[in-house]
Chains A and B, each alone.
Chain A
Amino acid sequence: MNKKITLKSSLKAYLYLLPAVAVIGVFVIYPLIKSFFMSFYVKYDYFKDKVYVYGIDNYKTVLSDPVFWHAMRNTMIFVIGVVPISIIISILIALMLNSKIKFGGLFRTCFFMPYVTSLVAVSIVWRWIYHKDYGILNYFLGIFGVHPIAWLDNPDVSMIALIILSIWKNIGYNVIIFLAGLQTIDKQYELAAQIDGAHYFKRVWNIVIPLLSPTTFFVAIVSVIGSFKIFDEVYALFNSGGGMAGPSDSALTVVFYIFRKFYGEWNFGVASAASFILFLVIMVFTVAQFCYARKRG
């Protein structure tokens, strides 16, 4: 039954689409365009929505601001620190859960639980765990003879604290995706590999992991994009009402920088410019990943 496209059928369809399109139009598409223009508002009154000066000064300001580059550097460290380790650990866990073990569902539940919880609230719990004197992390490290580390006060380790928290929170999600990916690999390849003389780890390395690469690619993209946008954890771990992101701003990330310019200094133009720069950086990384994947076939 092929229906023809008529004016009437179109109008009817538009009616169905109206609520969703209206909301998305107003709160996603319109702001996308407006944000772009906002990045050129050099002097702006947001309350009256009046622009006094246009120009590219905002971009100049951001790109020459050492604080911005500090934030960018921190964010890069974060992305590089989180994504590869996350992926490796998640694949390992997914492989373990995928083998014939009992209580698989129970383990899966445990690994996934952190993912459904509020990032802010969980960061506060970790704030307590990271406590220099009474936190259980230092207690466990102490068992191995490690001196108490001032996770949240020492600028050298604050990023590490952030990285650990982020890996912990997101492993569950990655594990589920990898589990689904593992299930799609035809069992016969592993049987053939067994016949070909490959014991377990050789099978995993030569057959399973290469065949898992579409899933790995997906997780990598999602993780990179997500890591670039980190904010909630920084706010909750270090900040309590405005000010420094971590000891001497050592945990300042790009989104936090944007937030500060926007909500702290009410400098919409600069904040918009910075957010567009961030967007471009994310785009570059994503495209680079696609190119890398294409090259490897």
Chain B
Amino acid sequence: MDKKLKKGISTCILYLLLIIGSIIMILPFYWMIATSLKTSSEVLKMPPMWIPTSWKWSNFAEAWKAAPFARYFLNTVIVTVFSTLGELVTSILAAYAFYRLEFYGKKVIFSILLGTMMIPGEMLLMSNFVTLTQLGWINTYQALIVPWTASAFSIFMFRQYFSTIGDELYYAARIDGSKDFGYLINIILPMSKPMIITIVIIKAIGSWNSFMWPLVVTNSENMRTLSVGLTAFITDTGTNYQLLMAASTFIILPMIIVFLVMQKYIIEGISHAGIKG
């Protein structure tokens, strides 16, 4: 029985470690929401109050009004939606070209795109800022959206995915009289749903959470995104942690919900990217 006991103990330890690890991972989020529901005196209670007793839902409303979060929210949504759409369109078209079409310089252009994936964005910051200034786009939606409407990464992921759709469908479509564009729209697109969903989610999360870029290209309150607005809010609230936590919830919660609903796609997408790497 000694063997069985040993196995039982190690299984217990395994579960214990995993449970502790999981708690460490999500405790900050729980704490964020719990703090958001406290009164200012409860917030400063030591030892900490794990379960809020006052359930001050009004904190959320108060935080929302304390700074133009409605506007921040709107901006973030607009930026996320349009840059994601833009990237979808540009990437799918480009991926199709690499997948199906023949043209001069195919290999060269492909290699250059590959190279761009290795460039750190920080290096391009200053120059892009100048470009945008010249275009008069500083502090506009264009500045927030346009530079993010293309990604070499997405192009590669789509191309990879397209190549798993066999040649025969293409031949059949051509014989049926469909030209390339029709084939793309009618056949490839519907069959690429899983990859589209994955890319949309990864891109949307990235766009929603982006900080440095919106920080740099916006300079007025009404163009700020949630992440920038949040950092500005820190100075406003001072030590009003329950409002600060409530405000943080505005930006964190939507993505958690998206994640919980769509985890399968996200995790699969990242696993694939990892294996290809």
Contacts and interface: CB of A to CB of B under 8 A. Distances in A.
Complex contact flag A–B (Cβ < 8 Å): yes
B256 A180 contact: no
B182 to A, nearest CB: 13
B124 A124 contact: no
Given A9-B101, A19-B150, A117 B252 contact: yes
A276 B102 CA distance: 36
A60 interface: no
Interface string A196-227: 00000000000000000001001100100100
**Residue of A13, A35, A231 with highest tally of chain B CB at under 10 A:** A13
Contact residues on A (Cβ < 8 Å of other chain), bracket? 35 or more
Nearest to A263: B216
B259 A116 contact: yes
Interface string B232-274: 1011000001001100100110011011100100110011101
Given A1-B167, A126-B28, A96 B17 contact: yes
A179 B28 contact: no
Interface in A73-111: 93, 96-97, 99, 101, 106-111
Contacts of B166: none
A27 B147 contact: yes
B266 A177 contact: no
A228 to B, nearest CB: 8
A128 B217 CA distance: 28
A12 B241 contact: no
A134 interface: yes
A176 B123 CA distance: 29
B177 interface: no
A198 to B, nearest CB: 16
Interface stretch (A149-157, A186-194, A232-240, A244-252): A232-240
Given A19-B90, A119-B211, A121-B248, A24 B116 contact: yes
A224 to B, nearest CB: 12
A168 interface: yes
Contacts of A141: none
B129 A46 contact: yes
B1 interface: no
B126 A262 contact: yes
A171 interface: yes
A185 to B, nearest CB: 12
Contacts of B9: none
A226 to B, nearest CB: 10
A46 B126 CA distance: 9
Nearest to A28: B116
B36 to A, nearest CB: 10
Of A110, A122, A271, most buried by chain B (CB within 10 Å of CB) is: A110
Contacts of B277: 218, 222
Nearest to B112: A29
Contacts of A106: 22
B270 A184 contact: no
13 contacts: A16-B96, A27-B150, A28-B116, A101-B18, A110-B23, A111-B21, A122-B28, A124-B234, A128-B35, A136-B31, A231-B122, A231-B211, A275-B125
Given A173-B270, A176-B271, A258-B122, 8 more contacts: A10-B102, A24-B150, A109-B260, A113-B25, A168-B24, A225-B120, A271-B125, A276-B123
